[in-house]
Amino acid sequence: MIAGIELGGTKTVVAVGSSNGSILEEWRFPTTLPNETLGQAIAWIRERGTPDRIGIAGFGPVGIVKNRETYGKILATPKVGWAGFSITDLFASAFPACKLVLDTDVNAATLAEAKSGAAAGLDDVVYITIGTGIGAGILSGGRLIHGALHPEFGHFKVPRMTGDDFSGVCPFHHDCLEGLASGPAIAARWGMPAHELPSDHPAWDMEAWYLAHGILAVVAIVPPSRVIVGGGVSQSESLHPKIAKYLNQITAGYFGFSETDGFIVPPALGQEAGIRGALQLAIS
């Protein structure tokens, strides 16, 4: 038996699964304080047995670089009670013989989408989420990239669209990709939240232009076979083809993909991605 936990900012999902990663049973409940939330998850798992392996997908920022003192802990967060809390210490004391694998929620979702979702069977996949911030999970050669620093996909700079003088909303870098194209950036730029903007609003053209430039950097640095674009802001129906159109224009055919070949796709697993990914982490 294996177990998985998707620890989200507002809800937590816990599941037990079989050794191939499929879900046998799951339970969703609200995320409250750390000891209470994780205590409920641990008790629920214990009622079902003792897992050999547990995969944990944590909301960010969470320390995932091994051999760092931050490993296993929730880092700076406005969520009351969570900053500095060690998820792995609590699970290690609850299940001392169990192997724990911790990763970010977006990395877990990337693994799930690459196993059985929008990039099923592919080894080189980037999953970009656009919501309150802009984050990414990167699977390269079948392995999730972690790197050595605090990974923050959205915080690099892209060119400005001609005529755009919006100052950007990132408190650190103003007009990095996240500062120009996250959900709060769209809301500040257009005076209404992304989900209220109709799909023919010019906001989506600009959003696609900026995302295409961000994806271009990913394509040049860790060439993926497919890029999944998800998160709340991505749910405008016209966004994915617009990104593909701009990406194709700016790459000028150089990287060998076309705007119509499914290189830019939405996620396929919906709400199930996180918990499925947590189980994939457990067996990875």
Q: What are the DSSP calls for 166-193, one per residue?
A: ----BTTTBSSHHHHHSHHHHHHHHSS-
**Does 157 engage in binding with a second copy (CB under 8 A)?**
yes
* Cβ-contact 106, 127 below 8 angstroms: yes
Q: Is the peptide bond between 96 and the residue preceding it cis, with omega within 30 degrees of 0?
A: no
Q: How many residues line the site for a second copy (CB under 8 A)? A: 44
Q: How far is the CB of 151 from a second copy (least distance, A)?
A: 5
Q: How far is the CB of 216 from a second copy (least distance, A)?
A: 5
34 Cβ contact partners less than 8 Å away, ≥ 6 residues apart: 74, 81, 82, 85, 87, 90
* Cβ-contact 177, 157 below 8 angstroms: yes
Long-range contacts for 43-50 (Cβ within 8 Å, ≥24 apart)?
44/14, 45/3, 45/14, 45/16, 45/95, 46/94, 48/1, 48/3, 48/16, 49/1, 49/16, 50/1, 50/95, 50/97, 50/98
Binding segment for a second copy (CB under 8 A), chosen from 52-60, 80-88, 216-224, 236-244, is: 216-224
Q: How far is the CB of 266 from a second copy (least distance, A)?
A: 20
**Does 1 engage in binding with a second copy (CB under 8 A)?**
no
Q: How far is the CB of 254 from a second copy (least distance, A)?
A: 5
**Does 217 engage in binding with a second copy (CB under 8 A)?**
yes
**Does 148 engage in binding with a second copy (CB under 8 A)?**
yes
| x/- letters, 218..247, toward a second copy (CB under 8 A) | xxxxxxxx----------------------
* 29 versus 156: smaller Cβ distance to a second copy: 156
Look up residue 55 and give its two tokens. 């995969």
55 Cβ contact partners less than 8 Å away, ≥ 6 residues apart: 2, 3, 4, 5, 101, 102, 103, 108, 277, 278, 279, 280, 281, 282, 283, 284
Interface of this chain with a second copy, residues 242 to 281, rule: CB under 8 A: 250-252, 254-257
| x/- letters, 172..211, toward a second copy (CB under 8 A) | xx--------------------------------------
Residue from 7, 74, 109, 138 touching a second copy (CB under 8 A): that is 138
Q: How far is the CB of 159 from a second copy (least distance, A)?
A: 5
* 124 versus 259: smaller Cβ distance to a second copy: 124
* 97 versus 252: smaller Cβ distance to a second copy: 252
Amino acid at 110: T
Which residues are near a second copy by CB under 8 A? 122-124, 136, 138, 140-141, 143, 145-160, 172-173, 213, 216-225, 250-252, 254-257
